Structure 1
Amino acid sequence: MKLNLSLKFYSKPLEKDIQLVEKIILNHRIKLEKINNSKVENEHQVHSLSPLNNLDQGEEKESYEKYENRLISALNEESVFNIAVTGIYGSGKSSILNTFKKKYKENSQWDFLDISLSSFQINKDTFSDDKDSNSTDEKNSDMKIEEELTPEQIQLIERSILQQFFYAVPQNKIPLSRFKRITGNALTNKITALLVIILIISGLVFFDKVDYIEAIYSLPNWLPKLAFWCFLICFILLLYKLLSVSFELSEIKLNFHNSEFNIKNEKEKSILNDHLDEILYFFEATGKNVVIIEDLDRFNNNEIFVRLRELNSMINKYCEDRVVFLYAIKDDMFTDTERSKFFEYIIPVIPIINPTNAYDLIQKNYEEVVEDIDKRFLRNTCLYFDDMRLVKNILNEYQDYDNHLKYLQLDKNQVFAIVVYKNYYPNDFSKLNSNRGLIYNIFNDVKLSLIDKKITEITENIHKLEGRKSELSNEMLLSIDELNAVYSYYLNSSIRKKHDVVKYIKVDGETVNIDEYDKDVFLKLESLKNEKIEFSPQNIVSSK
């Protein structure tokens, strides 16, 4: 009986604990179901501006395969070392190359190396906005202007290319390279710390600052000499390290016997040529054999292309495997026959979008975005679209503006128009916030002047018409002949409305030539107001 009581006593709190655990488990299950069933809905269609890498899928597959076959043929041709993929900005060059790299990334035949200078900036002279606030943005993309780059600017470009060479592969693939990176367990830092410790200890021994040690233990006679050499070597190494970090020295030469000390730091030399041995070692060690160079044409200067061609020639003479430089450039980068002399093979890219097919592409791929825009207005606007990236950005920004400004109930065509203007003339658009720029001046100063001019023209026309009216009101017939002329004109006009060719009319039974009216004829007509007049076309009299 006692046992049963004890079980009942303990069973009640145990049941409560079980119920509590079940509730906790149930709550967690509900939360997990909510997380699994929750979906973030995308209200807007996002159009990425980055180059595509899936042209081998979908509608562009057939067009891409043609470019792919030409690339494969060019890369397999032993006599081809420099290939150009040419086309205007936004024609799809990068998308073709990205798709090709992705498809053949695991291919053992080609190992790709990407060089892109899209984020590399060179300072250029700019004009102040305050000097000419009424001027519009100028687009000189259609003009081929070769810009002169200073030696320092070319060095910056070469340094960027060199950095992208060596940062594209892990450090362990190029262990003998002098270009070292900062790592979490850098051996250089440990060696530097050890040199500092040796320098301090050897300095204390050499300068006899260890009396407290000699009081306990006598130092051997050879130790000061060893300390001197250790101190000297550590001091030179640390000094070299300090100078190389502080002044970016490229060469230090010391010769104690001949008292020679040489520091070399040239600023105008070619970085690619100066580090040619490093570059050759890089390609030999990594096995990279296809270098894809993009956005180099943005500088509008051919000198850097010449240097890269020379570099390619040096690499192929040194390395056993052929290395191909693949350039993505605009069509007008080289003039006349320079392009065919510089590259061994050229692949032209036909633009995906142009003014003739822009409207159809937008209606086909982005119909939901532009469904509220007037079709005729959109078609006329598409005549200026020739860059796919720009079109995508226009559609993205139009969605954002339309979404944020819905409560204003603005005209969709006007919103789209100002977004297009913003993308083609961003500098002038930014001036609108400070009540400046071409658009602001048109709707304020120019508009008012046009209205005033139109008012002046209308006022002058009104004055002319009023003067003419006054002249007509004051005009009087001064003779019977003038009255006959007025009547003749009115009568002939009325007859010729019925028939073009009339020679005679019959008035009160009498035939009269229409060119021989006199006052008697009009007096008879006056007396015959309600009678019909007979006229004769081509000498045949008929009634009217």
Structure 2
Amino acid sequence: MEKNFESLTPKNDIDISTYEEALSFALAEKTITNIALTGPYGAGKSSVIESYKMKHPEKGFMNISLTHFEGNEVTGTNILEGKIINQLLHQIDYNKIPQTIFKIKNNTKKSTLWKYTILILVFICSALLVVKFKNWTRYLNGSFTNKNSGKLVMNLVKFLSSEQFNLIVLCIFTGSIVFFMYSIIKFQINKQFLKKITIKGNEIEIFQDQNESYFDKFMNDVIYLFTSSGKNVVIFEDLDRFNNPTIYERLYEINLLVNKRLAVNKKKNQIKFIYLIGRL
């Protein structure tokens, strides 16, 4: 007896002629930024989207799926938001989102470690030479003044104890200070490791808007993630399993703010949200 088995995972090669025109219209229409694809469970909504993605890779898709999240119908909005942000973070190149407050563990490149190690050594050596340059010249002149020292060595000693070399070292030292100040300020702006300082009992916030609430900071960062993602279409799957209409309201709000931010920044693209819904 012949047995036929069929995979239940979404396919990317089905006939989508019925849906392709409608999806293309919705994705091209500027007034439409939230799209719902509905149908009973197992009707093939995911296969339609996967096949459309295969035919239109230029549109830039990203999937947020809660298929494997074992929640229930009373799962809170905050938990769902956290799951969405977690998936969003891990689909964006971390180099594109240096200012995010959300932390991602990422291995530091060996080349970066070597670069900073060498720069620190250059800074320390140049600092010592600037402070102890007289001692340096005294040591050189005392160590290499005998007649056995070759002409090349003597010329090198002469240069290393000259005011010209002192000026070069001073420039290197100054450049190192400027570089480290730039790195610290950049790190502070991106990561805000210093939230506030206290001067004579008065707290002063650093590089922050004092009127900004925690919710605003959180929302701003989510918007920053979406606008920095480099994607034009975000697909949300299996949100309907949790019977939580509030999550759709929140995503609608985020989509509205994301596209307003893109418009303010004079970006030509929009970000569309597609929701695969099995039941309403």
TM-score normalised to the size of structure 2? 0.59
Secondary structure of 2:270's counterpart equals coil
How far does residue 119 in structure 1 lie from its aligned partner after superposition?
A: 1.3
Work out which of the two has the higher radius of gyration on C-alpha atoms and give 1 or 2: 1
Q: Report the counterpart of residue 117 of structure 1 in structure 2.
A: 66
How far does residue 180 in structure 1 lie from its aligned partner after superposition?
A: 4.2
How far does residue 172 in structure 1 lie from its aligned partner after superposition?
A: 2.2
Q: State the one-letter code of the partner of 1:278.
A: D
Q: CA RMSD in A?
A: 3.3
Map 1:7-18; keep pairs closer than 5 Å.
Answer: none
Q: Is structure 2 residue 10 aligned with structure 1 residue 51?
A: yes
Q: Report the counterpart of residue 270 of structure 2 in structure 1.
A: 322
Q: Report the counterpart of residue 135 of structure 2 in structure 1.
A: none
**Alpha carbons 1:52, 1:98 under 8 Å: kept:** yes
Q: State the one-letter code of the partner of 2:44.
A: G
Secondary structure of 1:328's counterpart equals strand
1:388-418 residue CA offsets vs partner (Å, 9 max, x unmatched)? xxxxxxxxxxxxxxxxxxxxxxxxxxxxxxx
* C-alpha distance in structure 1 between counterparts of 2:3 and 2:93, whole Å: 40
Q: State the one-letter code of the partner of 2:90.
A: Y
**Alpha carbons 2:33, 2:271 under 8 Å: kept:** yes
* C-alpha distance in structure 1 between counterparts of 2:242 and 2:227, whole Å: 30
1:23-51 residue CA offsets vs partner (Å, 9 max, x unmatched)? xxxxxxxxxxxxxxxxxxxx964321211
User: Could you say if the C-alpha distance between residues 52 and 284 of structure 1 is closer, same or farther in structure 2, counting changes exceeding 3 Å?
Assistant: same
Q: Is structure 2 residue 78 aligned with structure 1 residue 155?
A: yes
Q: Is structure 2 residue 46 aligned with structure 1 residue 94?
A: yes
Q: Report the counterpart of residue 78 of structure 1 in structure 2.
A: 30
Secondary structure of 1:115's counterpart equals strand
Structure 2's unaligned 5+ residue stretches are 118-192, 206-213
Q: State the one-letter code of the partner of 1:90.
A: G
1:308-361 residue CA offsets vs partner (Å, 9 max, x unmatched)? 001111011111322111100024x1xxxxxxxxxxxxxxxxxxxxxxxxxxxx
**Alpha carbons 2:74, 2:242 under 8 Å: kept:** no
The correspondence for 1:171, drawn from 73, 79, 94, is 94
* C-alpha distance in structure 1 between counterparts of 2:60 and 2:85, whole Å: 18
The correspondence for 1:306, drawn from 249, 253, 259, is 249
How far does residue 279 in structure 1 lie from its aligned partner after superposition?
A: 2.9
* C-alpha distance in structure 1 between counterparts of 2:33 and 2:194, whole Å: 34
User: Could you say if the C-alpha distance between residues 261 and 186 of structure 1 is closer, same or farther in structure 2, counting changes exceeding 3 Å?
Assistant: farther
How far does residue 286 in structure 1 lie from its aligned partner after superposition?
A: 3.2
How far does residue 278 in structure 1 lie from its aligned partner after superposition?
A: 2.4
Considering Cα pairs closer than 8 Å and 6+ residues apart, tell me whether 1 or 2 has the greater RCO: 2
Q: State the one-letter code of the partner of 2:272.
A: V
Runs of 4+ in 1 over 4 A off after TM superposition: 259-262
How far does residue 111 in structure 1 lie from its aligned partner after superposition?
A: 1.2
User: Could you say if the C-alpha distance between residues 259 and 176 of structure 1 is closer, same or farther in structure 2, counting changes exceeding 3 Å?
Assistant: closer
Q: Report the counterpart of residue 445 of structure 1 in structure 2.
A: none
Map 1:184-203; keep pairs closer than 5 Å.
Answer: 184-185=107-108
How far does residue 76 in structure 1 lie from its aligned partner after superposition?
A: 0.8
* C-alpha distance in structure 2 between counterparts of 1:325 and 1:90, whole Å: 21
Q: State the one-letter code of the partner of 2:246.
A: E
How far does residue 259 in structure 1 lie from its aligned partner after superposition?
A: 5.4
User: Could you say if the C-alpha distance between residues 277 and 186 of structure 1 is closer, same or farther in structure 2, counting changes exceeding 3 Å?
Assistant: farther
**Alpha carbons 2:77, 2:244 under 8 Å: kept:** no
Q: Report the counterpart of residue 447 of structure 1 in structure 2.
A: none
How far does residue 176 in structure 1 lie from its aligned partner after superposition?
A: 3.6
Q: State the one-letter code of the partner of 2:273.
A: F
Map 1:361-380; keep pairs closer than 5 Å.
Answer: none
Secondary structure of 1:168's counterpart equals coil
Map 1:341-360; keep pairs closer than 5 Å.
Answer: none
* C-alpha distance in structure 1 between counterparts of 2:238 and 2:43, whole Å: 13
How far does residue 121 in structure 1 lie from its aligned partner after superposition?
A: 2.3
How far does residue 118 in structure 1 lie from its aligned partner after superposition?
A: 1.1
How far does residue 71 in structure 1 lie from its aligned partner after superposition?
A: 0.3
* C-alpha distance in structure 2 between counterparts of 1:95 and 1:75, whole Å: 18
Q: Report the counterpart of residue 239 of structure 2 in structure 1.
A: 296
Q: Report the counterpart of residue 390 of structure 1 in structure 2.
A: none
Secondary structure of 2:251's counterpart equals helix
Aligned length: 191
* C-alpha distance in structure 1 between counterparts of 2:200 and 2:29, whole Å: 56
Q: Report the counterpart of residue 160 of structure 2 in structure 1.
A: none
Q: State the one-letter code of the partner of 2:43.
A: S
Q: Report the counterpart of residue 286 of structure 1 in structure 2.
A: 229
How far does residue 186 in structure 1 lie from its aligned partner after superposition?
A: 6.2
Secondary structure of 2:274's counterpart equals strand
1:287-325 residue CA offsets vs partner (Å, 9 max, x unmatched)? 311111110000011011100001111011111322111
User: Could you say if the C-alpha distance between residues 47 and 289 of structure 1 is closer, same or farther in structure 2, counting changes exceeding 3 Å?
Assistant: same
* C-alpha distance in structure 1 between counterparts of 2:204 and 2:228, whole Å: 35
**Alpha carbons 1:111, 1:288 under 8 Å: kept:** yes
